[in-house]
Chain A
Amino acid sequence: MTVLAQAAPATGITPGATSLLWLLPALPLAGFAVNLLLGRRLRALSGWIATLAVAASFAICVAALAELLSLDGPERGRVVLRGWAWFAGVSFDLRFDQLSATVAMVVTGVGTLIHLYSIGYMAREERRPTYFAWLNLFVASMLVLVLAQNFLVMFLGWEGVGLCSYLLIGFWFDRPDVPAAAKKAFVVNRIGDAGFVVAMLLIYAEFGSLDFTEVFGRAAGVGSATATAIALLLFLACAGKSAQIPLYVWLPDAMVGPTPVSALIHAATMVTAGVYLVARAQPLFEAAPAAATTVVLIGAATALLGALLAIGQDDTKRILAYSTISQLGYMFIGVGLGPVGAVAGIFHLVTHASFKAQLFLGAGSVMHANEDDTDITRFGGLRRAMPVTWATMGLAWLAIIGIPPLAGFWSKDQILAAAFEHGGAGVLAWAVGVLTAGLTAFYMSRMFFLTFHGRPRWPQGRHPHESPPLMTVPLVVLALLAAFGGLLGLSAERGALQRFLAPVLSAGAPPAGEPVVSEALLATLTVLISVLAVAWAWFLYGSGRVDWLALRERYAAARRVLVNKLYVDELYEFFTVTLGRALAAFLAVNVDQRAIDGGVNSVATGLLAGAERGRWVQSGLVRTYAVGVLGGAAVLVAVLVVGSIR
C-alpha cells in the first residue's frame, strides 16, 4: 500500500487529500475483510463497522473533492494517483477528475445512507455480518470501477460489482426463486462482460495501451470501423450492467434480494456503471457516430419499454425495477448524444441516485411494516400509519415524474432539451422521452396512490407501523436530496454541476445557438403531459370513484401481455434454452456419437477385421517360418546379385 500512496512527481500534485485516494476503495475493502473474518464475534457491531468504513470513504471523497475544487480548471483533469505496475504497461492507477469525483460522491454518499438504513432493515437477520461484508465489498469494487485510470482496472471493478450483485441478490438463497434470479443476473451480465473483454483486446491491439489518457487522446485518429466495433462492444457491456435492451431481463428478477441492496446496487450505483462507462469513453463514441446513435436509440427504446412494463406490475419493487430500467434509458439518451447531452446524462445519474434510492428505501420501509409484502393491491391507505415514509416517498415520487422544482425535473428536462437540440435521432428520442415521461408519471402515481391512499386493503390482523429512526433518517436525507438536488444544475449552461463537468464531458460541444423552439416551451409540454398522467392515475386509483379491479378484469387480455412482460423472457428462453438444448442434442447424436465415436470405433473394427484375415500367416509351425526366412534370404541375395551385375 505504501507504493500506492506515492503520487508520481510527474503529475505535479501536492500531497493532500487526493494522495489518500487509494483509501477510498481500501477502507470498504478493510471493512469487508473485518466483517468476513471477525463477523461472527462482532455480531451487532458488524453493521456499524461497515457503515463507518463507507462513511470514512465518503469523508475522504469530500476532502478530495474540496482539493479538486481548489485547483485551477485545467489542472483538475490531471489528478492521477500512480499505483504499482501491474503487468505489460498496465498499472494500478487511480484517476480523480470531475467525472469520477461526481460519481464517487454519489457512490459513497448514497452508500453511507443505505448502509445506515440496512442496520435497521436487517436487524432481525441472522447472517448480518455476511450481508455487510458483501455490501462493503460492493462499495470497494464500485469505487475501483469509478476511479480506474485504465480499462483493465475498471474491468476489475466491473467484475467485482457483478460478483457482489450476484452474492447479494442470492443473499436469501434458501428462498424459492432466489438462486435462479441470482444466476440469471450473473449469466446475463457475463454476456455483456464478454463484450468488455473483446473491446479491451481491440483497444490494446489498436492503441497498444489501456490507459484512458493515452487511448482517448488518440481516439479521434482511429478508423471508423474499428472505433464503431470498440464502441458497440463497450455498449454491449453497458447494456448488460445497466439493464438496457436486449439484456435488461435480469434486473426485475434481481428484486428478490434485500431491499437496501436493490436501492444501492440495482438503482443508485451499479446499474449506472454503464452510463458512466459511456460518458468516460466519450472520445471513442465521438469517433464512432453510428455507435453513439445506437446508444441513443437503444436508450429511448429501453426507456419506453421499461415504462410500459412497469404499468402491468403489482409488485412495488418490480415497478421500481422497471422504472430504473426506464430512467437508465434516459441517461443513455443523454450520454449517447455526446458533448451536447453527456452532462445532462450524468446529472440525471446523480439525481436519479437520490430519488430512486429513496423510493426503494421507502418501499423497503413499507415492506418492513407489512410483513415483507410487496403487493400494492394489498396496501392502500398507509398514509396515516407511516407519515414519514409517505411524505418522503411523496417528494421522491414528484421528483421522478419531473414536477418542478424537484431534482428529476431539471435533469430529465435537460436530457430532453439536448436530444431535441441534437436533431436527427435525437428528435425521435425526445418524442419517445416525452411519451415515457407521461407513462412514468402514470405508473409511479399508480404505485403511490395504491400504496398510501384510498381504503386500506391489507389482510386482517396486520398492523402497519412507522419504521425505526435508523431507517427513516436516510429516507429523510434522500428525500431532501431528491427535492433540492436540482440546485446543483439549474441550467444546462450555467449550473454548478454543468460548469464543473464541462471540461471533461462537453469540451467539443458547439456553442449553443438560438434554439428553434424555446426550452421553456418543451419543458412545459413535458410537465403538462406528466400532470395529466398523474390526474388520470388519481382518477383511476386514488379518487375511489373507479373500481380499478373491475377495470383490470375488462382489459384482461391487454393486461396479461404487460404482466407477462411482453413474453420477452419466454422468447429468450426459447432462443437460449430450448434451441440450445436442441442444438446440444443434435451435436451429441450426430457429431459426438456418429462422427467422433464412429470414427474411433471404425478404426478399431477395421483393425480387427484385418487381423482376422491375416491370422493364418501365424501358423505356429517353426518350419513354415523357416520357409519365410529362406524366401527372404533368397530375395535379398537375388537383389544383391542383380545389383552387382549392373
Chain B
Amino acid sequence: MTVGPEAYLLLSATLFTIGVAGVLIRRNAIVVFMCIELMLNAVNLTLIAFSKVNGALDGQVLAFFVMVVAAGEVVIGLGILVAIYRRRATTDLDDVNLLKG
C-alpha cells in the first residue's frame, strides 16, 4: 500500500496546529519552545513531502536549512531562558513583560 502525499500534509497540518495551540495556550516557556520546534518540523515535513511529489531536491535542501537555523535559535532561546530563570526563578511567560509599553 502506498501512502499518498495527502497523508503527509494531513500529519503536517495536525502537528502544526498542535504547535500553534501550544504556543498560544501554554505558559511554560520550555513547552512553548517545544511547540515552536513542532511547528518548524511540521513545515519540514511538508517541504520534504512536496520534494518527493515534485521529484526535486529543493525542498529537502530547504529542510536542512530550517534544521540548522532552528538549532541556532534553540541555543539562543534556551540561553535567554536560563538567564531569565536565574534572575526571576520563573519560566512562566506571563510573568515576563518588561517590554510593556
Q: Who on chain A is nearest to B23 by CB?
A: A626
Q: Which residues, 597 to 631 on A, are CB-close (under 8 Å) to B? A: 615-623, 626-627, 630
Q: Who on chain A is nearest to B94 by CB?
A: A621
| Contact of B67 with A by CB under 8 A | no
- Is the beta-carbon distance between B100 and A618 smaller than 8 angstroms? yes
Q: How far is the CA of A627 from the CA of B100 in the complex (A)?
A: 16
- Is the beta-carbon distance between A630 and B99 smaller than 8 angstroms? no
- Is the beta-carbon distance between A618 and B101 smaller than 8 angstroms? yes
- Is the beta-carbon distance between A630 and B20 smaller than 8 angstroms? yes
Q: How far is the CA of A620 from the CA of B32 in the complex (A)?
A: 16
Q: Who on chain B is nearest to A616 by CB?
A: B101
- A626 partner, pick from B24, B96, B99, B100, beta carbons under 8 A: B24
Contacts of A618 in B (CB 8 A): 99-101
Interface of A (DSSP majority class) = helix
The total of chain B residues at the interface (CB under 8 A) is: 13
**Most chain B C-beta atoms within 10 Å of own C-beta, residue among A615, A622, A630:** A622
Q: How far is the CA of A622 from the CA of B92 in the complex (A)?
A: 11
- Is the beta-carbon distance between B98 and A622 smaller than 8 angstroms? no
Q: How far is the CA of A100 from the CA of B27 in the complex (A)?
A: 100
- B101 partner, pick from A615, A623, A627, A630, beta carbons under 8 A: A615
Q: How far is the CA of A561 from the CA of B32 in the complex (A)?
A: 98
Contacts of B101 in A (CB 8 A): 615-620
Contacts of A620 in B (CB 8 A): 96-101
- Is the beta-carbon distance between B100 and A622 smaller than 8 angstroms? no
Contacts of A616 in B (CB 8 A): 101
Least CB distance from B83 to A in Å reads 15
Least CB distance from A631 to B in Å reads 11
| Contact of B93 with A by CB under 8 A | yes
- Is the beta-carbon distance between A623 and B100 smaller than 8 angstroms? no
Q: How far is the CA of A58 from the CA of B16 in the complex (A)?
A: 106
Least CB distance from B89 to A in Å reads 18
- Is the beta-carbon distance between B20 and A623 smaller than 8 angstroms? no
Contacts of B93 in A (CB 8 A): 621-623
Q: How far is the CA of A409 from the CA of B58 in the complex (A)?
A: 112
B73-101 CB mask vs A (1 if < 8 Å, else 0) is 00000000000000000000110111111
Q: How far is the CA of A616 from the CA of B32 in the complex (A)?
A: 24
- B24 partner, pick from A615, A617, A619, A627, beta carbons under 8 A: A627
Q: Who on chain B is nearest to A614 by CB?
A: B101
Q: How far is the CA of A267 from the CA of B89 in the complex (A)?
A: 97
- Number of chain A interface residues as a range: 10 to 19
Q: How far is the CA of A620 from the CA of B100 in the complex (A)?
A: 4
Least CB distance from B86 to A in Å reads 18
- Is the beta-carbon distance between A630 and B100 smaller than 8 angstroms? no
- Is the beta-carbon distance between B97 and A619 smaller than 8 angstroms? yes
B16-60 CB mask vs A (1 if < 8 Å, else 0) is 000010011001000010000000000000000000000000000
A430-468 CB mask vs B (1 if < 8 Å, else 0) is 000000000000000000000000000000000000000
- Is the beta-carbon distance between A619 and B20 smaller than 8 angstroms? no
Contacts of B97 in A (CB 8 A): 619-621
Contacts of A626 in B (CB 8 A): 23-24
Known: A615-B101, A616-B101, A618-B99. A630 touches B94 (CB 8 A): no
- B96 partner, pick from A622, A627, A630, beta carbons under 8 A: A622
- Is the beta-carbon distance between A623 and B94 smaller than 8 angstroms? yes
Q: Who on chain A is nearest to B99 by CB?
A: A620
Contacts of B24 in A (CB 8 A): 623, 626-627, 630
Contacts of A621 in B (CB 8 A): 93-94, 97, 100
Contacts of A615 in B (CB 8 A): 101
Q: Which residues, 461 to 511 on A, are CB-close (under 8 Å) to B? A: none
Q: How far is the CA of A622 from the CA of B24 in the complex (A)?
A: 9
- Is the beta-carbon distance between B100 and A619 smaller than 8 angstroms? yes
Least CB distance from B43 to A in Å reads 12
Q: How far is the CA of A621 from the CA of B100 in the complex (A)?
A: 7
- Is the beta-carbon distance between A623 and B99 smaller than 8 angstroms? no
Q: How far is the CA of A620 from the CA of B96 in the complex (A)?
A: 7
Contacts of A627 in B (CB 8 A): 24
Least CB distance from A240 to B in Å reads 65
Least CB distance from A156 to B in Å reads 66
Q: Who on chain B is nearest to A633 by CB?
A: B20
Least CB distance from A601 to B in Å reads 23
Q: How far is the CA of A152 from the CA of B24 in the complex (A)?
A: 82
Contacts of A623 in B (CB 8 A): 23-24, 27, 32, 93-94
Least CB distance from A376 to B in Å reads 85
Q: How far is the CA of A400 from the CA of B59 in the complex (A)?
A: 111
Q: Which residues, 1 to 28 on B, are CB-close (under 8 Å) to A? A: 20, 23-24, 27
Q: Who on chain B is nearest to A621 by CB?
A: B97
**Most chain B C-beta atoms within 10 Å of own C-beta, residue among A618, A619, A623, A630:** A623
Q: How far is the CA of A509 from the CA of B27 in the complex (A)?
A: 108
**Most chain B C-beta atoms within 10 Å of own C-beta, residue among A617, A620, A627:** A620
Contacts of B94 in A (CB 8 A): 621, 623
Q: Which residues, 561 to 609 on A, are CB-close (under 8 Å) to B? A: none
Q: How far is the CA of A626 from the CA of B93 in the complex (A)?
A: 12
Least CB distance from A629 to B in Å reads 9
Q: Who on chain A is nearest to B36 by CB?
A: A626
Q: How far is the CA of A627 from the CA of B93 in the complex (A)?
A: 14
Least CB distance from A568 to B in Å reads 68
Least CB distance from B29 to A in Å reads 8
Least CB distance from B81 to A in Å reads 12
Q: Who on chain B is nearest to A618 by CB?
A: B101
Least CB distance from B19 to A in Å reads 11
Contacts of B98 in A (CB 8 A): 620
Least CB distance from A332 to B in Å reads 77
Least CB distance from B25 to A in Å reads 8
Q: How far is the CA of A623 from the CA of B97 in the complex (A)?
A: 10
* A–B pairs, 8, beta carbons within 8 Å: A618-B100, A619-B100, A620-B96, A620-B99, A620-B100, A621-B93, A621-B94, A623-B32
Among all A-B residue pairs, the 10 with the closest Cβ atoms: A618-B101, A620-B97, A620-B100, A615-B101, A620-B99, A622-B93, A626-B23, A621-B97, A626-B24, A619-B100
Binding site for B on A (CB under 8 A): 615-623, 626-627, 630
Q: Please name 19 further chain A to chain B contacts, defined as beta carbons within 8 Å, in addition to the given A615-B101, A620-B100, sorted by A numbering.
A: A617-B101, A618-B99, A619-B97, A619-B100, A619-B101, A620-B99, A620-B101, A621-B93, A622-B32, A622-B93, A622-B96, A623-B23, A623-B24, A623-B32, A623-B93, A623-B94, A626-B23, A627-B24, A630-B20
